[in-house]
Amino acid sequence: AVFAQIEKAEPKIKAFLRTHKEEAMQKAADIDEKIANGDKVGSLAGVPIAVKDNICTSFSKTTCASKILEDFEAPYDAHVIEQLNAADAIIIGKCNLDEFAMGSSTENSGLQQTVNPWDADRVPGGSSGGSAAAVAGRMAFGSLGSDTGGSIRQPASFCGVVGLKPTYGRVSRYGLVAYGSSLDQIGPFTRNVEDAALMMNVIAGHDGRDSTSVTEKDAPVPDYTADIDKPIEGLKIGIVPRFNEGASDEVGKAVKASLDTYKSLGAEIVEIDMPYFDYAVATYYVIATAEASSNLARFDGVHYGHRTADPHDYVEVYSKSRDEAFGDEVKRRIMLGTYALSSGYYDAYYLKASKVRNLIRQDYTKAFEKVDCIMMPVSPTTAFKFGEKTDDPMQMYLADIYTIAANLAGVPGISVPCGFDSQNLPVGLQIFTPAFSEERLLRIARMYE
């Protein structure tokens, strides 16, 4: 069924960089056989899942939508891929993204342009735009994305699906091509909240190959579906009034309506403040670019990936290979990050940003002393048109205002569809809970559904 839908919808949406129908059908047949034989099968047996193309797979290329990795075949599977395979899920293909996950619209892909399934003139969001569009376009039942500053939640909101960024350390980053290592986290896109819980049951948990992966002892993985239908009694929701006012009227209205729904379910709305939140964009774009400049140094034209055809000397192998194959946004970020880390500027930028990051973390900690969760928009607007922000990177960065603080603080966040604007474009409601409380987060989101 999903491949029939891919045939119909994909020529327009272009969510996938590659699909693997033959292998997928074979796997489906194998699972059928297992079931016929009465063998035990995993919790996602036969469920078609799509995967962002910055997550390594041994059976398909992993390009990060970059010309520098256009032909790269990873020799191993990421931890999450092993987990999906162990659960008997069927991985049907790899999805488009902004090059190296840098962007908010998937327009920075070096390979193709993905279209929002709701409106072909508009972006699907980013950077996991392909993963969101695959689920929204009914071409997969779930998908995996990565979220460094909103790249799961924002495209989920633009495409009208559920997107969850787990707590930093909850899902292993082993096999995820690093962008901002202290911020990156893998998470699911699904059609509803319960499916997100099912996917979390499979991908969450300790993995010794990621040194930031949290152990079972420190944070046991619950069964995220067990109590999913139990509403939270006496739920206290924190809101920062000026955040809702900062969004477009229509987004503000949809978010307000969802808060009213929670009220009618017995929740109490508590006004809080998060004073350092305002510095999140500035802080993030120093820290993320600094980490990116270091992480991307490995693409050197020698180890793997694109190599320039006719270099003069070894310096040219490096500089020309990178110049030819990295896109503009990636280059911009490498330059910004290198600058912020260079001697003489480190204290003024990177160190300062790290200090503000701590204050932003405290904003969350203090808020969670008063409330069970925090709610706000995912994005100031609904999906924007192609080209609307490409000439002005600052405009694109500022659109991340509501999502990036959660990555700086490490807390989990979810985007749930909460209505439509007057142009019939989906709006997302964002919910945060304290670190390692995804079970509560999912239950709160489920109440709304």
Cβ atoms of 99 and 179 within 8 Å: the answer is: no
- Residues in binding contact with ligand GLN, number by CB under 6 A: 13
**Among 45-53, 95-103, 363-371, 429-437, the segment contacting ligand GLN (CB under 6 A):** 95-103
- Read out DSSP for 139-163? S-SEEEEE-SSSTTHHHHHHHTSEE
Q: Is 109 a catalytic residue?
A: no
**Among 111-119, 133-141, 146-154, 204-212, the segment contacting ligand GLN (CB under 6 A):** 146-154
Helical residues (DSSP H) of 175-271, grouped into ranges: 193-203, 241-246, 249-264
110 binds ligand GLN (CB under 6 A): no
- Over the window 367 to 406, marking each residue x when it contacts ligand GLN by CB under 6 A and - when it does not, the resulting string is ---------------------------------x------
Cβ atoms of 237 and 375 within 8 Å: the answer is: yes
In angstroms, the CA 361 to CA 66 distance is: 33
127 binds ligand GLN (CB under 6 A): yes
**Among 56-64, 67-75, 97-105, 129-137, the segment contacting ligand GLN (CB under 6 A):** 97-105
- State the catalytic residue, choosing from 60, 151, 258, 321: 151
Burial class from Cβ neighbours inside 10 Å (0-12, 13-18, 19+) for residue 140 reads: buried
Nearest distance from C-beta of residue 213 to ligand GLN, angstroms:
19
User: Which one of residues 60, 85, 104, 106 is an interface residue with ligand GLN (CB under 6 A)?
Assistant: 104
**Among 142-150, 203-211, 359-367, 383-391, the segment contacting ligand GLN (CB under 6 A):** 142-150
User: Which one of residues 96, 151, 283, 321 is an interface residue with ligand GLN (CB under 6 A)?
Assistant: 151
Nearest distance from C-beta of residue 109 to ligand GLN, angstroms:
13
428 binds ligand GLN (CB under 6 A): no
User: Which one of residues 124, 125, 137, 150 is an interface residue with ligand GLN (CB under 6 A)?
Assistant: 150
- Over the window 280 to 319, marking each residue x when it contacts ligand GLN by CB under 6 A and - when it does not, the resulting string is --------x-------------------------------
At 358, the amino acid letter reads: N
CB closer to ligand GLN out of 99 and 372: 99
Cβ atoms of 364 and 411 within 8 Å: the answer is: yes
415 binds ligand GLN (CB under 6 A): no
First-to-last CA distance in the chain? Answer: 26
- The interaxial angle of helices 193-203 and 79-86, nearest 10 deg, is 110
Dihedral pair phi/psi, residue 299, rounded to 5°? -85, 90
**Among 34-42, 101-109, 188-196, 347-355, the segment contacting ligand GLN (CB under 6 A):** 101-109
Strand arrangement of the beta sheet that strand 142-146 belongs to: 16-19, 90-95, 48-52, 142-146, 186-190, 162-165, 413-420, 426-432, 373-377, 236-239, 268-271
- State the catalytic residue, choosing from 60, 127, 131, 321: 127
Q: Is 437 a catalytic residue?
A: no
**Among 71-79, 99-107, 211-219, 338-346, the segment contacting ligand GLN (CB under 6 A):** 99-107
155 binds ligand GLN (CB under 6 A): no
Ranked by CB distance to ligand GLN, the top (closest) residue is 151
Q: Is 181 a catalytic residue?
A: no
**374 strand-pairing partners:** 238, 432
List the structure tokens of 287: 């820290």
CB closer to ligand GLN out of 48 and 103: 103
CA dihedral sign of residues 100, 102, 106, 112: negative
Nearest alpha carbon to residue 156 among 117, 121, 184: 117
149 binds ligand GLN (CB under 6 A): yes
SS3 419: strand
Nearest distance from C-beta of residue 87 to ligand GLN, angstroms:
25
In angstroms, the CA 65 to CA 14 distance is: 13
Nearest distance from C-beta of residue 178 to ligand GLN, angstroms:
11
Query: Could you give the count of Cα atoms lying within 13 Å of 286 in the half-sphere of its Cβ?
Result: 20
CB closer to ligand GLN out of 93 and 103: 103
Helical residues (DSSP H) of 96-203, grouped into ranges: 129-136, 153-159, 193-203
Nearest distance from C-beta of residue 408 to ligand GLN, angstroms:
12
- State the catalytic residue, choosing from 14, 27, 52, 320: 52
Where does this chain bind ligand GLN (CB under 6 A)?
101-104, 127, 147-151, 179, 288, 400
Catalytic residues: 52, 127, 151
